[in-house]
Amino acid sequence: AAREGRVEQADLKGGTISISNIGALGGTYAAPIINAPEAAIVAIGKTQWLPRFDEHGAVQRRAILTVTWAGDHRFIDGGTIARFCNAWKGFLEAPESMLLHLA
């Protein structure tokens, strides 16, 4: 429905988390603001090729995706968001690892 432009305002309400793809607009960083009454929001920037050091100290060209989070501390604490973000990062870096978590 969204691709056909048939999403109603009511379809966008009642969620727990919002995902903003600022990368589609060329954005790299954002400070997302929570849409009450949701518990969290994530902004995903565009992938950039940037220099990074490898385990031997050599500079490597790496694809970097910036992801920023905001959480409502009445519902969720920063540690929970950090653990979730680290798990998500692991899945993005090694998608095959998701198979280990299927029950």
Q: pLDDT band for position 103 (50/70/90)?
A: low
pLDDT digits (tens, 9 = 90+) for 27-59: 999 999 998 899 999 999 999 999 999 999 999
Tokens 């790299």 sit on residue? 28
pTM: 0.77
Q: Which of 11, 56, 72, 77 is catalytic?
A: 77
pLDDT value at position 42?
95
Q: Tell me what the pLDDT averaged over the chain comes to.
A: 91
pLDDT value at position 5?
80
Mean pLDDT calculated for residue range 68-78: 93
Nearest-angstrom CA–CA distance, 34 and 102: 30
77 is catalytic: yes
pLDDT value at position 14?
82
72 is catalytic: no
**Structural domains present in the chain:** 16-101 (3.30.559.10)
Nearest-angstrom CA–CA distance, 4 and 43: 23
Tokens 């993005």 sit on residue? 92
